């Protein structure tokens, strides 16, 4: 059996690649210093647990697509990427939409 470890950085990059395949969503950008110091939520977090991982996401959605549908697409894409690429069981993917941007945003 091959043993390996994935760094937090590698897990977050895998997460970013998974989100590239979901149209109309992106990770929330850099936060204000005050929000970070107050302990507010990061844009992405992967929590390792004994029987898998839990993913927490703060996202920006593009206006026009129903948010529940977009959230399910994100959950599916992240789960599939972690299973297929890293062999990790994803216990849950928590999605929080922090912002909604105009449909014509760059």
Q: How far apart are CA 13 and CA 15, in angstroms?
A: 5
59 and 28 Cβ atoms separated by less than 8 Å: yes
User: Which helix or strand (DSSP H or E) is residue 6 part of?
Assistant: none
Q: How many domains does the chain have?
A: 1
2 pLDDT band, cuts 50/70/90, is low
Q: Is residue 106 part of a domain?
A: no
CATH code, 26: 3.30.70.1350
Q: Is residue 80 part of a domain?
A: yes
Domain of residue 39 covers 8-101
Q: Is residue 58 part of a domain?
A: yes
User: Which helix or strand (DSSP H or E) is residue 56 part of?
Assistant: strand 52-62
Which residues in the chain belong to E strands, given as ranges? 25-27, 44-49, 52-62, 90-101
Rama region for 65: left / alpha / beta (φ>0; ψ in -120 to 50; rest)? beta
Q: Is residue 67 part of a domain?
A: yes
Q: Tell me the pLDDT of the chain averaged across its residues.
A: 86
Answering whether pTM is above 0.85, one says no
């Amino acid at each position: 059996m091959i043993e390996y470890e994935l760094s937090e950085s590698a897990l977050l990059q895998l997460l970013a690649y998974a989100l590239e395949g979901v149209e109309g969503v992106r990770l929330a950008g850099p936060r204000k210093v005050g929000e970070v110091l107050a302990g507010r939520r990061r844009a992405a977090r992967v929590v390792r647990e004994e029987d898998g991982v839990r993913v927490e996401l703060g996202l920006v959605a593009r206006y026009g697509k129903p948010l529940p549908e977009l959230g399910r697409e994100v959950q599916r894409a992240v789960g599939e990427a972690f299973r297929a690429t890293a062999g990790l069981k994803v216990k849950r993917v928590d999605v929080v939409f922090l912002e909604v941007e105009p449909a014509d945003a760059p």
